[in-house]
Each structure stands twice: as C-alpha cells, then as structure tokens.
A = this chain, B = another copy of it.
Amino acid sequence: MRFRASVYVALKPAVNDPQGNAVMDGLHALGFESAANVRVGKYLTLELDADDQAAAKRQAESMCDRLLANPVIETYTVEVAAAE
C-alpha cells in the first residue's frame, strides 16, 4: 500500500537557533513587534510503500533516525496517511 508521510523536524528547545533569531528580527522590522520565540525547522513530505499504516509510520520514523533528523539537536514528529 502507498502512504504519504509528513515529517516535522524541530530544534530541541535548548538549542540556539540563529536562523530563527534572524527571522524574528525581520518580523520586528516589518512591524510584527510581538513576535517571539521564532524557531525554524524542516517540513518534509514523501511517499512510501508499507503493509499498513503502523508499518509506514515505523518506516518513516526509521528514516528520521537515520537521515532526516539529527537526534542530538532535533526532535521529529511523523504523520502518515494513505496516499490518494
């Protein structure tokens, strides 16, 4: 069966995020003065084959552990749904 996975990778809260700080400065310069705590992560989508939804999720999590996320500084969340 074909599945579509959405993967959200975010820096752990304790990790400094210079890109997020740069975006926050940009938002302030545009007048969004209340913007704070801006963090920039990755949002990946992909398709994969698996026997069922649980297997698809396990496979996507394995992809995260091995390639898509750096477990030392990042956390990830995976959502899986049947591909149309």
A residues lining the B interface (CB < 8 Å): 8-10, 20, 23-24, 26-27, 30, 32, 34-50, 59, 62-63, 66-68
Contact = CB atoms under 8 A, between A and B. Distances in A.
Given A34-B47, A38-B44, 17 more contacts: A9-B43, A10-B45, A23-B44, A23-B67, A24-B46, A26-B67, A27-B67, A32-B59, A35-B46, A35-B47, A35-B48, A37-B45, A37-B46, A40-B43, A40-B44, A41-B44, A42-B42
Interchain residue pairs A-B with the least CB separation, the first 9: A34-B49, A43-B43, A41-B43, A38-B46, A37-B47, A36-B47, A34-B48, A39-B45, A8-B43
6 contacts: A20-B44, A23-B44, A23-B46, A24-B46, A35-B47, A36-B47
